[in-house]
Amino acid sequence: MNSRLLYALPLLTLVIMAGFFGWSLLSGRDPAAIGSVMVNRPAPSFAAPSLRDGQPALTSDLLKTGKPVLLNFFASWCTPCLAEHPLLLRLKEREGVTIIGIAWKNKPEEARAWLAKLGDPFAYVGTDYDGKLSLDWGLSGVPETYLIDATGTVRLHFHAPITERDLKETILPLLRAGK
Amino acid sequence: MRARLWLSPSGPSGHLPRQTGEGWGGGKRAVGALLLLLIAFPAFAVEPSEMLKDPALEARARTISRELRCVVCQNQSIDDSAAEVAHDMRVAVRERLTAGDSDRGVMDYMVARYGDYVLLQPPFKPGTLVLWLGAPLVLLLAGAALFLAARRRRVVTAPAPLTQAERDRLTVILSEAKDLPLQARGPSTSLRSAQDDR
């Protein structure tokens, strides 16, 4: 009896592993996801000089307007930023979303030229040349996008260019719920 | 959430000595240059401009930096990495230390921004129990199983000694074997004789 159970052990191990791998495949879990500690926390401190000449500096008040906002870190030297740029433009034009941009480690004149050439989706745009502001946001590179809800709480943090799917499945539902 | 898409400008990761184009005429020089190429030059990520004047504080910064993960690199500490974010984090570590933070305080500052992921040594807490205790547990279980199996084998009793009657029979059998003819000793002998016959 006892030894027969022992013989079943390899089979049992196989079944458990197969079950785990099957679940991993089917549940849509991303084992490489790191997550973000920013999500569901009040937005970190926020202050940046404006990228636009003669405009006032950006402050935390912009994140607490009673309306959800998107915060997007970008740079003119960043190719994936170029890829997500049309989506940001569409969000502004079709959905009327307030998007705040921060040029990360980007010379202001280069960031300005980039926006002038491709279109400017940002209601406000600041610059973080030395990366100090971005560190408070747990930024690891560009592009990264945060959704801050009406109460000033971070709800989403994308560590990658946003995609059509992100828009449809997470960003737009949250934005519409917040209005 | 998706995995991070790492994008950040990174500085030079290493310096190789440049070989001078002297042709094959200067044999010694060529050999010297080749020998130089064999030496792997370590890339120093910490730039002189980042370092603190106070050596004690700088030493603490280096120790902390070795414990913090560069968030855009694969398993590299910010002390080793030439990535932009690693540079920013090194500067932030030194700023916190200069402001009077304890080592623990600096670590907490980074964890508050980048999560436990930023620690190269994962903390011991409910979420990481399997990580910390999984391997020792498997080792213990396997050890216990091996121990039990070994003990069970030892329990098998030694065969009972022969009786007087059996010993007598054995003597008879052994003495008969001695008298057997040589041909019956093994198959090789008989095989060879069969071939010789042909």
Percent of chain B with pLDDT over 90: 39
A14 vs B175, higher pLDDT:
A14
DSSP string, A65-87: SSS-EEEEEE-TT-HHHHHHHHH
| Domains identified in chain A, total number | 2
Chain B environment of A42 (Cβ under 8 Å): none
CATH for B38-118 is 1.10.8.640
B155 vs A137, higher pLDDT:
A137
* pLDDT the model gives residue A137: 95
The reply to whether A130 touches chain B by the CB within 8 Å rule is: yes
Chain A environment of B75 (Cβ under 8 Å): none
Give me the CATH number covering residue A146.
3.40.30.10
The reply to whether B6 touches chain A by the CB within 8 Å rule is: yes
Residues A109 and A72 in one domain: yes
The reply to whether B18 touches chain A by the CB within 8 Å rule is: no
The CA distance from B66 to the nearest CA of chain A, in Å, is: 18
Residues A38 and A28 in one domain: no
pLDDT in tens, chain A (179 residues): 567 778 888 999 999 999 999 998 888 777 777 778 999 999 998 999 999 999 999 999 999 888 999 999 999 999 999 999 999 999 999 999 999 999 999 999 999 999 999 999 999 999 999 999 999 999 999 999 999 999 999 999 999 999 999 999 899 999 888 75
Per-residue pLDDT of B8-42, as tens digits, reads: 444 333 333 444 444 445 677 778 777 766 665 55
Domain that holds residue A136: 34-178
* pLDDT the model gives residue B161: 85
Task: Name which of A80-94, B44-58, B104-118 the model is least confident about.
Answer: B44-58
The reply to whether A161 touches chain B by the CB within 8 Å rule is: yes
The reply to whether A132 touches chain B by the CB within 8 Å rule is: yes
Residue B130 CA to residue A86 CA, distance in Å, equals: 44
Residue type, A177: A
For residue A156, what are its two tokens? 């989403």
Q: What mean pLDDT do residues B103-129 have? A: 91
Q: Return all residues near A153 (Cβ < 8 A) that are at least 6 apart.
A: A40, A41, A42, A43
* pLDDT the model gives residue B18: 41
Residue B75 CA to residue B71 CA, distance in Å, equals: 9
Residue A105 CA to residue A99 CA, distance in Å, equals: 19
Residues A116 and A102 in one domain: yes
Residues A7 and A47 in one domain: no
The reply to whether B45 touches chain A by the CB within 8 Å rule is: no
* pLDDT the model gives residue B41: 53
Residues A2 and A67 in one domain: no
The reply to whether B92 touches chain A by the CB within 8 Å rule is: yes
Residue type, B63: T
The reply to whether B119 touches chain A by the CB within 8 Å rule is: no
The reply to whether B152 touches chain A by the CB within 8 Å rule is: no
Residues A15 and A52 in one domain: no
Q: Return all residues near A119 (Cβ < 8 A) that are at least 6 apart.
A: A85, A89
Chain A environment of B113 (Cβ under 8 Å): 37-38, 44, 135-138
* pLDDT the model gives residue B8: 46
Assess whether pLDDT exceeds 90 at residue B122: no
Q: What mean pLDDT do residues B155-177 have? A: 84
List the single residue in A with minimal CA-CA distance to B86: A140
* pLDDT the model gives residue A38: 92
- Could you tell me the residue ranges of all domains in chain B? 38-118, 126-152
Residues A27 and A73 in one domain: no
Cβ separation B6–A30 shorter than 8 A? no
Cβ separation B3–A30 shorter than 8 A? yes
Residues A73 and A156 in one domain: yes
List the single residue in B with minimal CA-CA distance to A129: B88
Cα dihedral sign, B82-B83-B84-B86? negative
CB hemisphere CA count around B192 (13 angstroms): 6
Residues A6 and A39 in one domain: no
Confidence band of B183 (pLDDT split at 50, 70, 90) = low
Cβ separation A36–B115 shorter than 8 A? yes
Assess whether pLDDT exceeds 80 at residue B1: no
* pLDDT the model gives residue B104: 94
What crossing angle do the helices spanning B103-114 and B84-98 adopt, rounded to 10°? 140
Among partner residues A78, A130, A160, which is closest to B4 by beta-carbon distance?
A160
Assess whether pLDDT exceeds 50 at residue B90: yes
If phi over 0 gives left and psi between -120 and 50 gives alpha, with beta otherwise, what is residue A44?
Answer: beta
Residues A20 and A65 in one domain: no
> What value does the mean pLDDT of chain B take?
78
Residues A96 and A162 in one domain: yes
Residues A99 and A153 in one domain: yes
Per-residue pLDDT of B60-71, as tens digits, reads: 999 999 999 998
Look up the ipTM and state it.
0.82
Residue B68 CA to residue B71 CA, distance in Å, equals: 9
Cβ separation B5–A141 shorter than 8 A? yes
